[in-house]
């Protein structure tokens, strides 16, 4: 997850395309965060930091946030761009 992420909550609504749904991933945010240990403090998941798909989804999401796109528009664009990367998780809840 970029260090100066503009909208970290957006990643909760982007699908995980890295094949980690069977490990409980609900969205791209789960690729980077294993658990929240206190408000604003997280235990990171090393997978997300080294997976090109996870990082790509996060960076693309950030760029689309910067362009002012809505969350549904960002999700649609991410789905088109990353669909071939692997089996996605079901859509995270809005």
CA distance 32 to 53: 12
Q: Is the pTM of this model over 0.75?
A: yes
What pLDDT was estimated at residue 20?
Answer: 73
**1 pLDDT exceeds 50?**
no
What average pLDDT does range 22-33 have in this prediction? 83
Write down the mean pLDDT value for the chain.
84
Asked whether residue 12 carries a pLDDT value surpassing 90, the answer given is no
∠ CA 61-66-69 to the nearest 5 degrees?
70
Could you tell me which residue, 22 or 90, shows the higher pLDDT?
A: 90
29-71 per-position pLDDT tens digit: 888 888 889 988 889 888 888 989 999 999 999 999 999 999 9
What integer pLDDT is reported at residue 9 of this predicted model?
81
- Written as one string, the DSSP assignment of 66-91 is HTT--HHHHHHHHHHHHGGGSPPPPP
4 vs 57: which has the higher pLDDT: 57
């Amino acid at each position: 997850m970029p260090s100066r992420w503009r909208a970290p909550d957006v990643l909760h609504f982007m699908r995980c395309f890295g094949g980690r749904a069977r490990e409980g991933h609900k969205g791209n945010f789960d690729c980077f965060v294993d658990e929240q240990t206190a408000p604003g403090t997280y235990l990171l998941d090393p997978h997300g930091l080294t997976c090109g798909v996870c990082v790509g989804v996060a960076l693309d999401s950030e760029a689309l946030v910067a362009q002012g796109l809505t969350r549904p528009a960002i999700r649609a664009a991410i789905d088109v761009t990353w669909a071939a990367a692997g089996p996605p998780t079901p859509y995270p809840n809005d």
